[in-house]
Amino acid sequence: MGRYVRWILGIAVMLNLACSKQATKGEGILAIEDLLVRDNEITGWAHSGPGWEARSISELTVYINGLAEIYQRHGFAEGVHRAYAGTIDGGGRVLELSVYQLDSEENARALFEDPDLGLSGATPWTGGAGEGAQYVRFGGFSQALAFYRGTYFVFLGLDYDTEESLNILKQFALNVDGKLR
C-alpha cells in the first residue's frame, strides 16, 4: 500500500510542476506563437486574417518567397506572422508583425544587420526593444521597425507613416520584447 501512495504522490508532484510552468524566457517559451500580440491586447488593434506559421524553409518560402533565402542564410528555425487592423488618424490601417527564431544569437544579430532586408539608412531606436532596434520611414508612405533579442528577430511593418503610427509600431515591439525577457 505504501508503494502505491508514494507512486501517486510522485505523479501528483510532477503534474504540479508541469502545470505551474509559465511562458517566460527563464523557464522557456512554450511556443513561438506565444510571442505574438493577442487580439486587442493593444487597444484598438485586432487580428486581421489568419496569419501563418512556418517550421521549415520550404514553408517559409510559401509565405515570403523571395526573402526566405535571407532567413535561410541566417539559420532560420521557425517563424510566425500576424496582421492587425486598427485606426490611425481616423483611417483604417494594417500592421504586420513577424517573429522569427534563428539557430543562434549570432545569426539573429547578423540578420538584423543584413543590408538585404531593406533597412539601409534606418534610425537606431536607442533604449527601445531588444538588444538592438531600428526603424525606417519610407517617404511618408510606410515604415518598418526591426529588433532582435537572443535567438529571435522581430520585424514590424505599417502601411502609414506619421509619428502616431511610429509610436504604435514601438508599442507592438515593446509588447513582444516583454514576452522575450
Is 8 among the domain residues? no
Is 144 among the domain residues? yes
Domain with 164 in it? 25-180
The DSSP line for 45-80 is: -EE-S--EEESSHHHHHHHHGGGHHHHHHTTEEEEE
User: 99 pairs with which residues across the strands?
Assistant: 80, 154
Task: Report the number of distinct structural domains present in the chain.
Answer: 1
Q: Is 162 helix (H, G, I), strand (E, B) or coil?
A: coil
Whether 101 and 32 have beta carbons less than 8 Å apart is answered as: yes
In this predicted structure, the answer to whether residue 176 has a pLDDT above a threshold of 90 is yes
Is 148 among the domain residues? yes
**pLDDT by residue (tens digit) across 51-91?**
999 999 999 999 998 899 999 999 999 999 999 999 999 99
Is 19 among the domain residues? no
**pLDDT by residue (tens digit) across 129-165?**
999 999 999 988 999 999 999 999 999 999 999 999 9
Is 81 among the domain residues? yes
**Which pLDDT belongs to residue 14?**
31
Is 4 among the domain residues? no
**Which pLDDT belongs to residue 120?**
86
Is 7 among the domain residues? no
Whether 154 and 176 have beta carbons less than 8 Å apart is answered as: yes
The CATH number linked to 49 is 3.40.1000
Is 17 among the domain residues? no
E strand spans, 31-131: 46-47, 52-54, 76-88, 91-102, 123-124
Q: Specify the pTM.
A: 0.84
